[in-house]
Structure formats: structure tokens, C-alpha cells
Amino acid sequence: MSYAHAAHASFADMLGTLDHLIGKAQRAGMADGVLGERLAEDMFPLELQLRVALNQVLLALNQVAGKTLPLEEATYRSLAEVRERIAAVRSHLDQAGPTDWAPAERPVDLTLPNGVRFAMSSEEDIRDWIMPNFFFHVTMAYALLRRAGLDLGKMDFLQHMARHRVSAAS
């Protein structure tokens, strides 16, 4: 399996997880104010954790799939808006199938807003920068929602595993 196929599948699964988590928060009657929750004062609030997670997918598509998608810059004001943005990013991902991604060895030159610069291959960019950041922010969103009182378990984070479940009779 190519790096592009693996990343595409992981993004799709975890975007589904984010949608599931936010949907569960809505069904539980959580107020939009939960978007301001933080684990620590020096950490991003839930809203920014979600926005940065979605931006990792957009960055990947821009850096290795030849897209020029604008990053999510506007603050999300509601859980409903978060779900709309997740759906929009999922649509962008679906439109940029893994066969559209750059060869694994193609160079990526990444300069962060603070001026730190990285030079690596497309595969390294996805494996070493994008995916760890994506999973970190998805995990923080899970932790913040759980801390805010949402009844979550591990299978809420790994909800995509339901498709692999084998019945007891098998």
C-alpha cells in the first residue's frame, strides 16, 4: 500500500471519528460553549484543536496532492458549523484520491509560521509531520469532549473499526 493510500484511508477514518464525536456531543445536548474548553491554560481550546486537525488534511492535499485549498482560518462558532466543516474537508479528500498524490520521493519544502524550515520527501511529510499532528489534535478533541462530560469510550475514537467486526457465530 502506498503512503498516499494509507494516509487517505486514515484521514477518512478519523474525519469520520471527528464527525461522530461532534454528533454525539450534539445529541447529548452539549452547548456550543464547549468549543472553548481547554485541557490546560497554555493549550488550544477545543475549537482550535478541531480547526488545526482539519487543516492538517488540507495541508496534506495542498502539499502532496496538488491542491490549492484555503486553510480553515475563521473561528468555528457552533458544533453544527464544525460538522459542516468536517463534511467539506471530507469532500475535498474524496475529490483528491490517492492516485492524484505526488510520488513518495517528491520533495516538500515546508516553512512554519515561526520560520522553522523542513525539507523532506512527500512520504516523509505525511508520515513525520502531517499525520502525527493530525492524530494529536483529533486526540485532544476527544480528550476535551470527555473532560467536558461527554460519555466517550475507546470505540468512539475507533468507531471505524465496526466495519471489521466479526460476529460471535463466525
pLDDT digit string, tens, across residues 60-96:
999 999 999 999 999 999 999 999 999 999 999 999 9
| Residue 147 pLDDT exceeds 90 | yes
Q: CA of 100: how far to CAs of 2, 60, 62, 97, 169, in Å?
A: 12, 12, 11, 6, 41
| Residue 1 pLDDT exceeds 80 | no
Predicted pLDDT at 4: 94
In sequence order, the β-bridge partners of residue 128 are: none
Q: Per-residue confidence at 169, pLDDT binned at 50, 70, 90?
A: confident
Predicted pLDDT at 101: 95
Over residues 94-122, mean pLDDT = 93
Predicted pLDDT at 80: 98
Over residues 105-116, mean pLDDT = 93
Domain ranges of the chain: 3-164
Task: Give the pLDDT confidence of 6-45 residue by residue, as tens digits.
Answer: 999 999 999 999 999 999 999 999 999 999 999 999 999 9
Q: Report, at the CATH architecture level, how domain 3-164 is classified.
A: Up-down Bundle (1.20)
**Mean pLDDT of the residues in the chain:** 95
Predicted pLDDT at 113: 86
| Residue 57 pLDDT exceeds 80 | yes
C-alpha angle 54/58/60, rounded to 5°? 115
- 120 contacts 110 by C-beta, under 8 angstroms: yes
- 37 contacts 147 by C-beta, under 8 angstroms: yes
Over residues 131-156, mean pLDDT = 97
